[in-house]
Amino acid sequence: MTFRILLADDHEVVRRGLCAILQKKGELEVCGEAKDGREAVDLAKQLKPDGVIIDIGMPEVNGLEATRQIVDALPGTKVLVLSLYDSEDTIQQVVDAGARGYMLKSDAARDLFTAVDALRRNLSFFSNKVADMLPEGYVNARPGAANLPAQLRNRLTTRERELVQLLAEGKSTRQAATQLGMSVKTAETHRSNVMRKLQLHSVSELVLYAVRNKLVRLAEP
C-alpha cells in the first residue's frame, strides 16, 4: 500500500533533495509540499497524508506548532520532525508536540528510509544518540525527581509496561485497553498507577520515560 507523505521545508533545495530520496521507493508518494508551517497545516488537512516530514524552523508557523496542529486535527497522521540541531531541549519539545520521530537533516540521506518505514509500521524513530541524551536530563529537571530511586522508576508490572509502550506509541487509553483485552476503566487505573509510581505528570513525560527505558519500540537507525 502506498504511503503518502507531505513535505514541509522553507528551502526548496531541501524539499527537492528529500523528494529525490523518497522517490527511490515505489511504495512512497510525495503528495504535497509546503514552504511554511501554516501551509503545512492547511495542506495536511486538505490532503490527509499518512505521514508528514517537517522542518522544525519555518516562517509563518514554526514546525513544532505546525506539528501540534496537524496531530490534533489528524491523529492518524505520523509526523517526523527534521532539525539541524539535537539539543535536549529541542528533542523534548519535539516529543511534547506529538511527533513520532526526530531526525537530523545531516542524517537524512542515511536514515530517511528507516525513519519513514518506522512510521509506516506505527513505530517511533529516534536515533540512539537522541534516545540516550534525552531522558535523564529531562527527568532530573523535574522538581523532586532527582531523588527518585531507579528501582522505583522501574517497578512496573508487566501489564503496566505493556500499557506504557502502547501509550508511548501513540495509542489512546481506549485503544490500548482494547489491544490488551481489558476494560477502559482498568487501563485508566493502570495508567494512574504508572504516573504515580514514576512521578510523571503528562503523556509526553511518559513517552520520554519509555524511550529511555526501551519500553517503546524504536526502529533501528
What is the domain-level CATH number for residue 127?
3.40.50.2300
Of the CA atoms within 13 Å of residue 140, those in its CB half-sphere come to 10
pLDDT for 47 equals: 97
Do 44 and 118 lie in one domain? The reply is yes
Average model confidence (pLDDT) for the chain? 81
Picking from 64, 54, 65, the residue whose alpha carbon sits closest to that of residue 9 is 54
Do 121 and 157 lie in one domain? The reply is no
- Please report, rounded to a whole number, the percentage of residues in the chain having pLDDT higher than 70: 82
Confirm whether 173 is domain-assigned: yes
- Residue bearing the bigger pLDDT, 151 or 118: 118
Do 188 and 102 lie in one domain? The reply is no
Most confident among 24-28, 183-187, 202-206 (mean pLDDT): 183-187
Do 100 and 149 lie in one domain? The reply is no
Do 19 and 128 lie in one domain? The reply is yes
Could you identify the residue written with the cell 483485552? 181
Residue 55: count other Cβ atoms within 10 Å of its Cβ: 26
3 SS3 class:
strand
Are the beta carbons of 20 and 41 closer than 8 angstroms?
Answer: no
Residues 6+ apart with CB under 8 A from 195: 201, 206
Domain that holds residue 187: 136-212
